[in-house]
Structure 1
Amino acid sequence: MKKNLFVLTLVLGASYHASAETFEGCPTRGEIKMAGSVYAATASNNEGIWLGIAKGPDEGDIKEFTSATFYPAQLNNGRASQSAVVKCSYELSKGGCVNLQYIPRSPLPALDLRDASKWRRKKWPYNPDYYECIDPAAWRCRFVLVRPS
Structure 2
Amino acid sequence: MKLKQLVLGVAVMLSGQAWANVTEYCPSPSDIKEAAPGVYKAPTASGDGEWYGVSQTGQGPVGEFELAIFAPHKDVEGETAIGEVLRCGYKLQKGGAVDMHFKREGVVASIETNGPWEEWNSRYYCDNKKVRGCAFKEVVRASKR
TM range (shorter): 0.7 to 0.9
Q: Does 1:59 align with 2:59?
A: yes
- Length-normalised TM-score, structure 2: 0.74
**1:12-27 correspondence to structure 2 within 5 Å:** 20-27=20-27
CA deviations over 1:75-106 (Å, ceiling 9, x no partner)? 9xxxxxxx6233111111111011101112x6
Counterpart of 2:38 in structure 1: which amino acid? S
SS of alignment partner, residue 103 of structure 2: strand
- Distance apart, 1:10 and its partner CA: 9.3
CA contact (8 A) 1:109 1:148 kept: no
Answer yes or no: is 1:99 the counterpart of 2:99: yes
Provide the TM-score with structure 1 as the length reference.
0.72
Cα distance change, pair 22–136 in 1 and its aligned pair in 2 (3 A): same
The equivalent residue for 2:108 is: 110
State the Cα distance separating 1:19 from its structure 2 match.
7.1
Q: Cα 1:48–1:116, aligned 2, differ >3 Å: closer, same or farther? A: farther
| Structure-to-structure mapping, 1:1-149, within 5 angstroms | 2=1, 4-5=2-3, 8=6, 20-34=20-34, 35-56=36-57, 58-73=58-73, 84-104=84-104, 108-114=106-112, 116-123=114-121, 129-149=122-142
CA distance in 1, matches of 2:53, 2:84: 17
State how far apart, in whole Å, the 2-side matches of 1:131 and 1:70 are: 5
Greater share of residues in helix: 1
For the aligned residue pairs, the C-alpha RMSD in angstroms reads 3.0
**Change in 2 beyond 3 A, CA 1:140/1:7:** farther
Distance 1:12 1:122, change over 3 A: farther
Unaligned runs of 5+ in 2: 76-82
Kindly tell me: are residues 139 and 52 of structure 1, through their superposed partners in 2, closer, same or farther at Cα, counting changes over 3 Å? Answer: same
* 1:95 partner amino acid: G
Aligned residues: 132
